[in-house]
Amino acid sequence: MESIYLDYAATTPLRAEVRESILSAWSEFGNPSSMHRWGRRARTRLEEARERLAAVLGARRREVIFTGSGTESDNLAVLGRWRTWRRGEGASGSAGAVVCSAVEHRAVLGAVRAAGADGAAVVILGVDREGRVDSGSLEEALSARPAIVSVMWANNEVGTVQPVRELAERCREAGIVFHSDAVQAFGRERIRMDELPCDLLTVSAHKIGGPTGVGALYLRDGVELEPLVHGGGQEAGLRAGTEAVGAAVGFAIAAELAEREREAEAARLESLRDHLQTGLLERLPGTVVNGGNAPRLPHILNLSIPEVDREMLLMSLDLEGIGASSGSACRSGTAEPSHVLAAMGRGIAGETPLRLSLGRDTTAAEIEEAVDRIAGVVGRLRALAEA
Ligand code: PLP
């Protein structure tokens, strides 16, 4: 039985071109901070990678900070900004706040909670039944003059795309720093920082065919951040530690490839995703699509399936050779309900969420086969539960 990977939102296979570029970078060595020729060669590689990633993002080279992951970039944005605020505006004794949406990835929610433990008032923006942030609630939140507003570009569980331009413009008008976590959207949506009043943006390599262990934070010129990692002055003093040159090179190549193929690939994935959705809704009565009535990323489908046990479903799908998840990868394996579906008013007891996410290697034949196998598994589990 051929296995079918439908968990590209968790991570993606390393692309062959990316592997080549990393191996080539790894065949050399040198610390980019060293003055000698080995160091200068490593520095050149690193700065070339930064330049190429910046070009994809419509940014300047110095506005791209390499980090170890999307999670680290989110933390640097939220906590780094909060600490800057506390030292500056906060020093006069005024109360500070940090704002994010209720459907953020746990990387942002965790950083926001940490800021809360450090004295920030935490404001969580609610979403509608499709997972979209209500811009009215932003108005109210802005009156607290927060240190930062963080709203993701698109959600990792349901794929819902947020009205980022509108939110960023509103924050810019109010003079409030705006951050967006674009880990899932990068490579799938058009993201140009020279066309958007967004101050901070998070991206990660392993979601687009790049390596794990490298992310980046776009940091608009003039926006101040306090580093979270102290030591040497690497990455403009914002992220101490000898840079992972090979990983940065791989990230830049993956980003260029993803951007070059973005439009054609998004159309292909959307059509495959819609086939998967139609096929499963036909075969599994009572199933509902979460986030299906708002603008949605092309590769994510989130379903609520009644009358099946979550653990049993994921285990049985794995036995059938299907890699899927019940939501975000970092929550798989726990019985905790999805905070995203709960915020959308959809986390109903007795319904099991299933996230299927597609990618570069997904084929039409796999989608046909996946519909059969998933419908078969659900049917068998329901029959067992009734017996
Ligand atoms: N933000 C979102 C929306 C994500 O989907 C993920 C990963 O699942 C992250 C942040 C964390 O990225 P990383 O795995 O690079 O730490």
d(CA 103, CA 158): 10
Contact 30, 39 (CB under 8 A): yes
Kindly state the helix (H) or strand (E) to which residue 372 belongs, with its residue range.
Answer: helix 364-386
d(CA 127, CA 136): 11
- CA of residue 282 to ligand 1 center, whole Å: 32
Q: What confidence tens digit (pLDDT) does each residue in 199-225 have?
A: 999 999 999 999 999 999 999 999 999
Q: Is the CB of 341 under 6 A from ligand 1?
A: no
- CA of residue 184 to ligand 1 center, whole Å: 7
Q: Cα Rg for the chain, rounded, in angstroms? A: 21
Q: Is the CB of 69 under 6 A from ligand 1?
A: yes
pLDDT for res 329? 58
Q: Is the CB of 199 under 6 A from ligand 1?
A: no
Instruction: Please give the C-alpha separations between residue 288 and each of 63, 272, 354, 372, in angstroms, as whole numbers.
Output: 42, 18, 10, 18
Contact 11, 361 (CB under 8 A): no
Query: Which residues lie across from 64 on neighbouring strands?
Result: 218
Model confidence at 347, pLDDT cuts 50, 70, 90, reads confident
Task: Give CA angle at 182 (80, 325), nearest 5°.
Answer: 110
Taking residues 250-270, report their average pLDDT.
Answer: 98
Strands 351-357 and 64-67: unpaired
Q: Is the CB of 215 under 6 A from ligand 1?
A: yes
pLDDT for res 349? 78
Choose one of 105, 106, 186 to mutate for the ligand 1 pocket test, by most ligand atoms within 8 angstroms of C-beta. 105
User: Nearest 5°: phi and psi at 190?
Assistant: -75, 120
Taking residues 314-325, report their average pLDDT.
Answer: 96
Mean pLDDT, all residues of the chain? 95
* Helix, strand, coil % in the chain, rounded to nearest 5: 45, 15, 40
Catalytic residues: 330
The closest residue, in CA terms, to atom 6 on ligand 1 is 183
pLDDT for res 331? 52
- Per-residue pLDDT at 332 exceeds 60: no
d(CA 192, CA 239): 24
- CA of residue 324 to ligand 1 center, whole Å: 17
- Per-residue pLDDT at 78 exceeds 70: yes
d(CA 162, CA 191): 13
Q: Is the CB of 104 under 6 A from ligand 1?
A: no
d(CA 100, CA 102): 7
Q: Is the CB of 268 under 6 A from ligand 1?
A: no
Q: Which residues contact 269 (CB under 8 A, 6 or more apart)?
A: 298, 299, 358, 359, 362
Taking residues 168-176, report their average pLDDT.
Answer: 97
**Burial of 301 (C-beta count, 10 Å sphere; 0-12/13-18/19+):** buried
Torsion-angle region of residue 239: left (phi > 0), alpha (psi -120 to 50) or beta? beta
Which strands make up the sheet holding 351-357, listed edge to edge?
Answer: 288-289, 300-306, 351-357
Q: Is the CB of 107 under 6 A from ligand 1?
A: yes
Choose one of 156, 160, 212, 302 to mutate for the ligand 1 pocket test, by most ligand atoms within 8 angstroms of C-beta. 156
User: What's the distance, CA 199 to chain centroid?
Assistant: 17
Choose one of 66, 100, 191, 207 to mutate for the ligand 1 pocket test, by most ligand atoms within 8 angstroms of C-beta. 207
Q: Is the CB of 156 under 6 A from ligand 1?
A: yes
Weakest-pLDDT range from 19-28, 209-218, 332-341, 372-381: 332-341
Q: Which of 53, 52, 13, 48 is nearest to 28 (CA)?
A: 48
Closest ligand 1 atom, residue 330 Cα: 8
Q: Is the dihedral of CA 227, 233, 235, 237 positive or negative?
A: positive
Is the full-model pTM beyond 0.85?
A: yes
- CA of residue 24 to ligand 1 center, whole Å: 27
d(CA 300, CA 273): 7
pLDDT for res 378? 96
- CA of residue 263 to ligand 1 center, whole Å: 22
Closest ligand 1 atom, residue 182 Cα: 3
